[in-house]
Chain A
Amino acid sequence: MTRHTPLLLGLGMAATAAALAPSSAAAQTTGTTAAFVPTQLIVDRVFEDGSTDDVENEARVFATVKDCADNVTFRFTLNRFVPRPTYVEAWVGEGTTDCTQASNRQKPSGVSNGITPCKFLGRVENRAEPVFEVKARDMLNVDDRNEGGSPECDAVRGSPVKRVYIFPLTQATDPDSNIAPAVATGFTPAQATATFTPYTSRPDKPTNVRVRTGETEIGVSFDVVAADQDVQTEYRAYFDLGTEGGTIGCGSGAFEGTDDDPNVAPPKTSATIKASRAAKGSPSTLSSLDELGIQIGDTVAVSAVTIDPAKNESFLSEPVCVQRISTLGFRDACEADPECKDGLSTCSVSFGPSHGALALTGLTGLVAAFALRRRRKA
């Protein structure tokens, strides 16, 4: 079996576009509560490692099966918030369900059959951090019967799914109550809309893969299809050793794949793997040719794939074979030239007796000049 080893390109963070139409509802409350005016809503995707994709005011949220995994979290940020004892809650309903109605906002455990017309996503009660963090699958699977079960995200497999999120301002004194708290008097719940577009087809593969080789590094670059430029994609290079008679293997060898390089910017479509790891202090996480066991003379096949925002990979591009070769640089040329070799030692002093005498004379003259100047001043 041929082994395709993802090696060195983590070309680009998949951009997630999100669409949350900012709510223009300027809500008014009465009594002890203050005004709540969510002039803007921000959505971030938050991953388990703490990284986020800022998708503020974008048009779409790309959702796939992978987006429904538990490690993908969406974050709603309310730009303006009110102090206690008020709360802002997030509810989402399926279809035309009106989540502004308190009767549709019963909490799951308070409903006998476990199904609610609207799903409770979370409550914000901390003004310092007015943020909802919701699992992607909870947002997409409104029907609680799917919660924790499978298949997840069925609803988004076929066509774009539009969800309307409701943010009512409540005045509950018992946040754990199963009864939906009343919406603050005079308050118009804020709304945000997100459309989840499934990406289930493969993107086009990169073309015109080019390699450059040498003794200390092998580089790969390629062209991307124009359509990919509309959507931020990432790319990855694969090296095929063909150790077990693979279809595109070019030779023998053995190496292991490693982490993607996190420092390659999205527009870039090339990368280089060096013979040895970069110097101390470099953030590079790439393995080196030496670590991967690619010796001088070894031949490997290089191919690249496009990865769309939904993490769908394209087919492999046409592979290109490349051999690590021995090269001759300036130092090699210098070593072969006795005059140059003698000159490029770590420290080379080429003052001959005449030069030394000349320099000594000049130095003496300058010292004399300084002395003369001081004497004149005195």
Chain B
Amino acid sequence: MHKLTLLLSVLCALCAPGLAAARAPDTFEEEYKKPIIIESPMWMALEFRIGPYTPDNDAFRETFRSDRGWLLGAELDVTALKIPYVGQLAVGAGFGWSSYSAKARAEASGSASGETTKLTIYPMSALGVLRVDTLARQLDIPLTFAAKLGADFVRWKTSTGGADEGSGLNIGLRYALQAALELDFFDRRSTRRLDDEFGINHVYTFFEFFESRTKALGDRAFQFGLGAQF
């Protein structure tokens, strides 16, 4: 329920600037002209994301309770195939980090001890990505969507106090669905300059739902972030 509320809030926040801009005085007429289609190479996408993430298992909840982690991540997609009027098919590699800590409990009393127990995870993923940008390219509606499917490789390590208590690698399925708002319409001239000078075609903010089905460390969660296609 909380996630849904947060999702709606994020979407509203993302839409608000666009609506405001549409109602703004028309002082720069060219801002509202139909975008000019210019041939410019675009083979990659880079995304940075953040969101709460808690592995779905009882031991985790019992130990870390309210620690929601905040999973930080980055992903690089390389286009394998451009599909006319649809979008791109790409391969992607992602890397993330999240850390959880809590006071270890005294075995005898169950109360919190002076030691800290920690779990750190480094989710790495290899993904196939289908990015659909039909709305943005054909209808000037700045929304794109992406579906991702692949494998999650979660490197983990845990410690309590001064003792390392293990590490390992968990592998499982990962999929994700992404909705993105391209920010080009805010200032098309700046967008053009970004493309001319740095080769960045589009900058977008996105919301992504994903699930990692790695044993003990998997969960469903959502993230939001900023991305660029270049």
Instruction: Report the stretch among A115-123, A300-308, A329-337 that lies at the interface.
Output: A329-337
User: Is A215 engaged at the interface, CB distance under 8 Å to the other chain?
Assistant: yes
Contact of B168 with A by CB under 8 A:
yes
Q: Is B160 within 8 A of A215, CB to CB?
A: yes
Q: A212 CA to B114 CA in the complex, in Å?
A: 4
B143 at the interface (CB under 8 A from A): no
Is A275 among interface residues, defined by CB-CB distance under 8 A?
A: yes
Cα(A272)–Cα(B119), bound, Å: 21
> Which residue of chain A has the shortest Cβ distance to B162 in the bound complex?
A274
A373 at the interface (CB under 8 A from B): yes
Instruction: Enumerate chain A residues within 8 angstroms of B173, measured Cβ to Cβ.
Output: 350-351, 355, 358-359
Please state if B158 and A331 are interface contacts (CB–CB under 8 Å). yes
Given A329-B117, A329-B158, A330-B117, A343 contacting B217 (CB threshold 8 A): yes
Interface size class of B (residues with CB under 8 A): 35 or more
Which of the residues B100, B151, B156 comes within 8 Å of A344, measured between beta carbons?
A: B156
Q: Which residue of A lies closest to B58 (CB)?
A: A337
- Stretch from B25-33, B104-112, B177-185, B198-206 contacting the other chain: B104-112
Least distance between B43 CB and chain A CB atoms (Å): 11
A365 within 8 A of B: yes
Given contacts A325-B108, A350-B170, contact A330 B216 (CB under 8 A): no
B23-54 near A? 1/0 per residue, CB < 8 Å: 00000000000000000000000000000000
Given the contacts A327-B113, A363-B128, A372-B81, A214 and B171 also touching, CB distance less than 8 Å: no
Whether B115 lies near A343 (C-beta < 8 A) is no
Chain A residues near B118 (CB-CB < 8 A): 330
- Given A326-B108, A330-B60, check contact A215 B166 (CB 8 Å): no
A362 and B104: CB pair below 8 A? no
Taking CB atoms and an 8 Å cut-off, the chain B residues in 47-101 that contact chain A are: 57-60, 62-64, 80-82, 89, 91, 100
A68 within 8 A of B: no
Bound-complex Cα distance A328 to B165 (A): 11
8 A Cβ contacts from B139-198 to A: 149-151, 156, 158-163, 165-173
Residues of B within 8 A of A347 (CB): 168-171
Q: Is A345 an interface residue (CB 8 A)?
A: yes
Q: Is the CB of A362 within 8 A of B113?
A: no
Q: CA–CA, A328 to B161, complex, Å?
A: 10
Q: Which residue of A lies closest to B216 (CB)?
A: A343
| Minimum distance in angstroms from A355 CB to a CB of chain B | 4
A349 to chain B, nearest CB (A): 5
List A contacts of B149 (CB < 8 A): 358-359, 362
A370 interface hit (Cβ, 8 Å)? yes
B residues less than 8 Å from A312 (CB atoms): none
What is the bound-complex CA distance between A82 and B59, given in angstroms? 75
With contact pairs A214-B115, A328-B104, A343-B217 given, residues A366 and B80 touching in the complex (Cβ less than 8 Å):
yes
Asked whether B162 lies within 8 Å of A337 as measured between CB atoms, the reply is: no
Instruction: Assess the A329–B115 pair: CB atoms within 8 A.
Output: yes
Name the one of A274, A348, A370 contacting B215, with C-beta atoms under 8 angstroms: A348
Interface mask (A313-331 → B, CB under 8 Å = 1, otherwise 0): 0000000000001111111
Using Cβ atoms and an 8 Å threshold, which residues of chain B touch A365? 89, 128
* Proximity string of chain B (196-230) to chain A, C-beta cutoff 8 Å, 1 when within and 0 when not: 00000000000000000111111000000000000
Which partner residue on chain A sits nearest B110 by CB separation?
Answer: A328
Q: Which residues of B contact A265 (CB under 8 A)?
A: none
Given contacts A214-B113, A328-B107, A359-B150, contact A333 B163 (CB under 8 A): no
Residue numbers in B under 8 Å from A337 (CB-CB): 57-59
Tell me whether A276 is interfacial, beta carbon within 8 Å: yes
Bound complex: CA A373 to CA B84 (Å): 12
Q: How long is the Cα–Cα vector from A373 to B89 in the complex, in angstroms?
A: 11
User: Cβ of A369 and Cβ of B150 under 8 Å apart?
Assistant: no
Smallest Cβ-Cβ distance to B119: which chain A residue: A330
CB-based nearest B residue for A372: B81
State the A residues within 8 Å of B (CB): 211-219, 272, 274-276, 278, 325-334, 336-337, 339-340, 342-351, 355, 358-359, 362-363, 365-366, 369-370, 372-373
CB-defined A-B contacts under 8 Å, sample of 15: A213-B115, A214-B104, A214-B113, A214-B115, A214-B160, A274-B161, A275-B163, A276-B162, A330-B165, A331-B165, A333-B60, A339-B58, A343-B215, A344-B158, A351-B171
